Amino acid sequence: MVRPTNMKISPINVVERKLLDLRSGDTVRVWQKIKEAKDKFRLQAFEGLVLARKHGTEAGATFTVRKVTSGVGVEKIYPLYSPMIDKIEVVKRSKVRRAKLYHIREKAAKEISRQMRREMAVPKQVVIAETVATPDAPVAEVAA
């Protein structure tokens, strides 16, 4: 069977995704299709830092995105040519010295533990409420 040249195999624009200059250190917004009901889809954005880009631009190419939500680190690995990805926007570029930024995981954990130590070390200040004398009550001392 001979396929016509104008026939599409993939529902996505492969050339556009192949030319997408996505590098580690970039902050990206990935618009992912989420299936709601039978045939209904909605778009959900996942914005975070690209930790790694693997397998170049071949069919199995993937990229890892990490973001911190409510103090919890969340990582997602997306296939570059997935039809469930609507679009990929590069929000910000950063200059990095590594191809894979896996050390960011430990860096974030260290920062959180540092914050916890700071909270434990700082004693809580006690606030003393002022008492005011009323005509029928005896006069109380006012703490300053």
Confidence at residue 76, expressed as pLDDT on a 0 to 100 scale: 95
Confidence at residue 114, expressed as pLDDT on a 0 to 100 scale: 81
pLDDT tens digits, 41-61 = 999 999 999 999 999 888 899
- For the chain, give every domain's residue range: 14-121
Entry pTM: 0.69
The model's confidence at residue 129, banded by pLDDT at 50, 70 and 90, is low
Confidence at residue 1, expressed as pLDDT on a 0 to 100 scale: 58
Cβ count within 10 A of residue 66: 19
Domain spanning 14-121, CATH class: mainly beta
As a whole-number percent, the residues of the chain with pLDDT over 70 amount to: 77
* Sheet strands (E) in 80-130: 85-92
Q: Which helix H or strand E contains 121, and what residues bound it?
A: helix 103-121
